[in-house]
Amino acid sequence: SQTIHQWPATLVQPVGSPLSLECTVEGTSNPNLYWYRQAAGRGLQLLFYSVGIGQISSEVPQNLSASRPQDRQFILSSKKLLLSDSGFYLCAWSPHTGKNNEKLFFGSGTQLSVL
Amino acid sequence: QKEVEQDPGPLSVPEGAIVSLNCTYSNSAFQYFMWYRQYSRKGPELLMYTYSSGNKEDGRFTAQVDKSSKYISLFIRDSQPSDSATYLCAMSSGMDSSYKLIFGSGTRLLVRP
């Protein structure tokens, strides 16, 4: 079965510091990968998605970037964090093709606090 | 106007009640509809998946889609305190360029023992 791992679960970082959040998927190949952000009491905002190694699409211009160095690895980064980057970050995957490729499966999330 | 509208709640019900959660949407191209359950500080969990119109039942959960009214519902029968969570609706057109689900903002449900 497929599993998705996301870490760390909680992160407190000072303003101006760098960020690296990592997500890996097991049990499938060539998944679509996504990074979402969820502000408190708000819906899910899609930040980036990737349909293959090195292929990144950005949905919202911002202080963040994403990379996909391996088929099942997705990284969210920032060179200098802003206060507004605080939030709950979620990694997700979906099958690349096939009957159920609309279904998203989420990781456990990272609560980022920028102070 | 948002593409997907969902009442944020909170919705508070006694244990054993039937719960009705709803979303409306504006894009008639949507044809894949999902409900996710999210416990506090956890990732959303896929609960129900429906294609096009109609009903789908899974245990205590029933998902309904009315494409003519652009309205979807999730019913929870015999609600339990463990059902207390935020419920997010999500939908997609399934078009080749649309790998993205559009989410509602979520309805917070509290089931009182």
Question: pLDDT of A78-108, one tens digit each?
Answer: 999 999 999 999 999 998 876 667 789 999 9
Per-residue pLDDT for B81 more than 90? yes
Task: Tell me the mean pLDDT in the region B25-48.
Answer: 93
Kindly list the residues from chain A whose CB atom is less than 8 angstroms away from the CB atom of residue B88. Answer: 43-44
Number of helical H runs and strand E runs in chain A: 0, 11
What pLDDT is recorded for position A100? 66
What pLDDT is recorded for position B76? 98
What pLDDT is recorded for position A26? 95
Least confident of A96-110, B7-21, B81-95: A96-110
What pLDDT is recorded for position B111? 97
Are A6 and B43 a contacting pair at CB < 8 A?
yes
A-to-B residue pairs, Cβ atoms closer than 8 angstroms = 52
pLDDT, averaged across chain B? 92
Kindly list the residues from chain B whose CB atom is less than 8 angstroms away from the CB atom of residue A46. Answer: 100
Q: What is the percent of chain B with per-residue pLDDT over 70, rounded to a whole number?
A: 95
Kindly list the residues from chain A whose CB atom is less than 8 angstroms away from the CB atom of residue B31. Answer: none
What are the contacts of A10-14 at 24+ separation with CB within 8 A? Answer: A10/A110, A10/A111, A10/A113, A11/A110, A11/A111, A11/A112, A11/A113, A12/A112, A12/A113, A12/A115, A13/A81, A13/A112, A13/A113, A13/A114, A13/A115, A14/A81, A14/A114, A14/A115
- CB-CB contact of A51 with A101 (8 Å): no
By Cβ distance, the residue of B46, B88, B100 closest to A105 is B46
| Cis preceding linkage at A61, omega within 30 | no
What pLDDT is recorded for position A95? 86
Residues A22 and A73: their CA atoms lie apart, in Å, by 7
Per-residue pLDDT for A67 more than 90? yes
